[in-house]
Amino acid sequence: MQKPIFIGNWKMNKSGAEACQYLERFAPAVTAAKLSDQAEIVLAVPYTLIETMQRELTRHKATIALAAQNVHWLPSGAHTGEISAPMLKEFGVSHVLVGHSERRQFYGESDEGVFKRAEACLGAGLIPIICIGETGDEYKRGISREVVSLQIKNGISKLPKPQVIQAIIAYEPVWAIGTGLSATPEIAALMHSHIRSELNQVFGPTLGEQIRVIYGGSASRDNAQRLCNSPEIDGLLPGGASLDADHFLDLIKAGIKKQ
């Protein structure tokens, strides 16, 4: 039984000063409550904050990991504006968001691109957090499972078996991202069960059962406990709820607590 994981996605938010203020509140509280003994905690921050966050987390002696929000699949080259996995590794990043719905929706990232990014992360010793999920239109049409199955087939199934257990799959229904809407615990559990079944079919149950599947999509301190009560859900990927230190702390505590 692995510890649940909570990954706060800051998206395009916070200055260096704001990040330091956040950690002044967040890091000591995580340590005092011994939250890292009960869960893995990750902050996915803009590239500009990685060095500052690494320095401040070291100063606070906090067991909190850092994630980047995207990565290019090549280690180097003529790709202006991109960041490679080895570059992120050098700065102490351990996780990388791959294929977030906003990247797919607004920047045209494909399942093939998601696969190549995830493969690059694994090759560099980084943990890819691979995001999958259906749009609102697809949800209304009742094809959520088909969409997710195709994303797994095209973007995940080709990953090398020895390394794939390091990956994290984040189910984030696009209709719930930043909308305040959230899948009910029952809907989320059913989709997570479907994802697990697909992973077992692709990689075999020995590997498939070890890949963590977490939920993202307007997760908050108000629904964290109900979502995490499901044995199908291995953690949460909140966005806006992670921008406030106290809210994220409450969310983690609620997610750890079982009814």
Rg (CA), the chain: 17
Name 106's Cβ contacts closer than 8 Å, sequence gap at least 6.
none
**How high is the mean pLDDT of the chain?**
95
Instruction: Classify residue 211 as exposed, middle or buried by CB count within 10 Å of its CB (0-12, 13-18, 19+).
Output: buried
Res 71 pLDDT > 70: yes
Active-site annotation holder among 100, 102, 138, 198: 100
Task: Answer for the pair 224, 17: CB distance below 8 angstroms, yes or no.
Answer: no
The answer to whether residue 18 is catalytic is no
Task: Answer for the pair 5, 37: CB distance below 8 angstroms, yes or no.
Answer: no
Active-site annotation holder among 102, 109, 172, 232: 172
Res 219 pLDDT > 80: yes
Q: What is the pLDDT of residues 86-113, one digit of tens each?
A: 999 999 999 999 999 999 989 999 999 9
The answer to whether residue 100 is catalytic is yes
Closest CA to 33 of 196, 185, 255, 259: 255
What are the Cα distances from residue 96, in Å, to 40, 69, 161, 175, 223?
Answer: 15, 6, 19, 22, 25
The reported pLDDT for the residue numbered 259 is: 47
| Residue 258 pLDDT grade (very low, low, confident, very high; cuts 50, 70, 90) | low
pTM above 0.85, yes or no: yes
Q: What span, in angstroms and rounded, lies between the C-alpha atoms of 254 and 237? A: 14
